[in-house]
Amino acid sequence: MYALVEIKGRQYKVAQDSVIKVDLLGSEEGADVEFPKVLMVRTEKDITLGKPYVEGVAIKATVESNGRDPKIIVYKNKRRKNYRRTQGHRQHYSLIRVKEIAGVA
């Protein structure tokens, strides 16, 4: 069984006991979180699609850790104009472990 869930504007495919990397949630490590925006649920028997969300189904998860990705370099250049800009970026993320897909019969 798996589900498609919307977390902070992005869609993720989750199953029970799976670990996914999402944008920073702002929750402490070990905190329980719940995501009610489930777009689709697939069981062994059938598929349930939401319009836009499936009623009564939520994803329950635990925040395992918060961290930052490796640095990427953003470089801009316009030739023959003496224009060069270098900027770095490190994206913040949260690792969450899905405990259960609640509300599925």
Q: What's the rounded Cα separation, in Å, for the pair 31 and 70?
A: 25
pLDDT under 70: residue ranges of the chain: 105
Cα 29 to chain centroid, rounded: 16
Domain count, the chain: 1
**pLDDT for the residue numbered 104:** 81
**pLDDT for the residue numbered 105:** 67
Nearest Cα to 1, choosing from 37, 62, 35, 45?
Answer: 45
Q: Give the range of the structural domain holding residue 8, as residue numbers without chain letter.
A: 2-102
